[in-house]
Amino acid sequence: MENLSKIKFLLKKDKRDPKLYIPIIKLFKKQPQTISEISQLLNFSYSVTKQRLHKLERMKVIKRLKRGIYINPILSEKFSSISQISSKPVKINGSFRITISGNTAFFTLYNSLIAKKCRGKYCHIIKRGGNEFEIRKSNKYYGNKIHCLKNGAASIPVSRKIMPKLAENKITTKCFPIKLILYPEEWGLSINEIFSTEAKEEGELAHELNKLGIVEKVGKKDNVKSDIYFIKNNFKIPIEVTIATPGITGTTQNRSSIKSCEILARMYYSIKWNITRGVPTILVINEKWKDVSWVAEEINYLKRFHAHILFTDFQEGWAKKMSKEIETLTDYYLDKSTTRLGLE
């Protein structure tokens, strides 16, 4: 901050009374201040305080961190800097919405664990390419507050200036899908926790796959029945994990049982993904399904669509073994000259 004598000179030159501005300047020696705090401390009205702060900001005597909060420019880096991290990012599904009035915009992050653990904390949002946004841990002076909704999702109020391209010129309550990028360690979270919102097995596999590539949380609006996207060298494979076991093993387990229908539904989505996207899929199921006669028939049929079924016992160490199998399968497809596989 410039010395007071110089500031007084500039204020007088602009026909401003220094006595009305210097007390405000002195409040910024150690930490940021809000308009309301200054108004109460100096017994100024809110509107008058706001006008004087705007004047000091134009003079570059103080700096605005975010709406309603100002700081000494020398201290700004201390309160607005973001820590450097080396961990891998994770992509979470979210949406962007503008209220009916058009005055407020929100990001919604669809992960109940993150919403619960990050509730009341602050984040700084960085716009990336397309409809992707990075969410970095911040503080109340620099970031946007994270709120927890009744449905378990996290809500973050944002500026309309940051709206994704998909939502430009469309003032509506409709939700536009976006991807939100987080660094779990920064928030005191783990890959295992983030992916275990429905079943712990999903988190266990995601944890191991994250060591071999990039993992992404699949959203309900992605039009695929999967728990994890495994990404290696920009090649994305959806992985569905189900721990359901057949009620009866052997030839007596028919296709019309509830658990059989659950497995068949996942097979259907695997075929659909290949037909619409032209890439393989992986379905991880309990090894007890090997004893069901019709499963072997379906496996042979699914191979035509590059839909792979992998069996496991879900016992200790299963996720590490399964991640290696998935990596081997991914490497096989990466070696192919084309990613549009089609039918063989």
> 315 phi and psi, to 5 degrees?
-95, 180
**Bridge partners of residue 135, in order along the sequence:** 125
pTM, to two decimals: 0.73
pLDDT at 208: 94
pLDDT at 168: 55
- Determine how β-strand 235-241 pairs with β-strand 281-286: parallel
166 vs 136: CA distance, rounded Å: 23
pLDDT per residue, tens digit, the chain (344 aa), is 557 888 888 888 888 888 888 999 999 988 899 999 999 999 999 999 999 999 999 988 999 988 889 999 988 888 887 777 767 888 888 888 877 656 678 888 888 888 888 999 999 988 887 788 999 999 888 889 999 988 888 999 887 777 655 555 555 556 788 888 989 888 888 888 888 877 889 999 999 999 999 888 876 555 566 788 898 888 888 998 988 888 655 455 666 677 788 788 888 888 888 888 888 899 999 998 888 888 888 888 888 888 899 999 999 999 999 999 999 999 988 887 454 444 34
326 vs 303: CA distance, rounded Å: 15
pLDDT at 256: 64
Cα–Cα nearest to 180, from 100, 96, 259, 247: 96
